[in-house]
A and B are shown apart, each in its own frame.
Chain A
């Protein structure tokens, strides 16, 4: 097969975006999922709706508003650019920020379900043994929700690989900076280079399949170990 000239560059960028998104969302998603699973606030349904919005919105809608939010025509954008020096449109940082929003529910929902499945008595037992909330989270809750952690991470990674609309709106298609594999496919097809498009498409298909097989295999193994 003839590999497109930018093949490795594009692939590296795609994997970098998916890895950074997954790592950052693990950090952001854990406290959010913890609050959603344990909180009793009346505002909880509101927060849940906000987290789940990216599931139902067209990616172009998210991309459009983020594009506005990052541009100097809005107050938010001016704050980002002038105060924080963050010029996000058409940069890797911009598509990373977009991916965080776009993949948020894919991280938070499995984690929230994972927190919900660990019996409350386990945390309470840890509290009566003098353990702080943080120690309990780290030593008791997280080790007992490994399948949820894994599915959150894997789904986020795979979902970010397949991201198209948000990246296109915010990042455009700058080779080596914002052109990820899904966008490269679109470009190649537009130029009628089907073989090149196929190289990207086949790669994405293979990666997604391998990731999902690994997820289900590990989940099954872990379930067998704990029961």
Chain B
């Protein structure tokens, strides 16, 4: 159970603003944070982790006070049992995959078994002896997630963990995240811009804008792709077609069809 009300000055492109967010999460809940850039999402995550100090408010986790402005209490990040996955992964370049995890698991009983299990769970066993620099983005992301879990945290904070990855990798990692969440039942806060990802993983979504909560509620599933029927005007070189849409607009798509044929086009909002 995490319960907080945090305030912090924000420096946005639109000038100075105040981040002011109050929220409570049930144990094991997965909440997605979304909103335009500059809304304060990353700042909020850093405040929760103790990487930045709030200007005011309070933060409690499982009855323990992590921050209380009035009582001048502040728990440094080292003493908060949490896992943080950074947007740019922040893997230690001087350590192999296994060493990255082992460093995180140090000081726990059965650290070695924890590391082995996480390598297995996130399909990293084959890569255990490699250094981060030679891994692909998706692989690095799996290492970052495994490392964040190696300390056996009770709260998992994920800063846009999948945004830099291509779609197939992202889908695979969403599966991994869902599996991790099922297995460890961690209270999780995930920053994401992808409605499909949010709908798939999150119990609730919190939309932030200019430092304030705009909406809290169940995730909205993105609409199924609509289709339109267009008529092929011309076949272009390189497997491209020029197609006229019902409104009269002309678009170019990839595909194979003859001139004058009617074809169905799927419309995807990006």
A contacts, CB < 8 Å to B: 119, 121-122, 124-132, 139-140, 143-144, 226-227
Contacts and interface: CB of A to CB of B under 8 A. Distances in A.
B103 A127 contact: no
A128 B51 contact: yes
Nearest to B83: A128
A122 B80 CA distance: 17
Interface stretch (B12-20, B85-93, B209-217): B85-93
A43 B78 CA distance: 28
B151 interface: yes
Given A121-B90, A127-B51, A139 B103 contact: yes
B93 A130 contact: no
Given A128-B82, A130-B107, A144 B77 contact: no
Contacts of A130: 78-79, 107, 151
A127 B150 CA distance: 14
Contacts of B77: 124, 127-128
Contacts of B78: 127, 130-132
Given A121-B86, A139-B103, A226-B133, A127 B92 contact: no
Q: Which of A121, A140, A226 has the most CB of B within 10 A?
A: A121
A226 B90 contact: no
Nearest to A133: B78
A143 B95 CA distance: 9
Contacts of B4: none
Contacts, number: 57
Interface of B: 49-51, 76-80, 82-84, 86, 88, 90-94, 103-104, 107, 131, 133, 147-148, 150-151
10 contacts: A119-B90, A122-B90, A122-B92, A124-B90, A126-B92, A127-B77, A128-B82, A129-B150, A144-B92, A144-B94
B147 A144 contact: no
B164 to A, nearest CB: 14
B84 A227 contact: no
Nearest to B144: A125
B173 to A, nearest CB: 19
A129 B133 contact: no
A149 to B, nearest CB: 13
B155 to A, nearest CB: 10
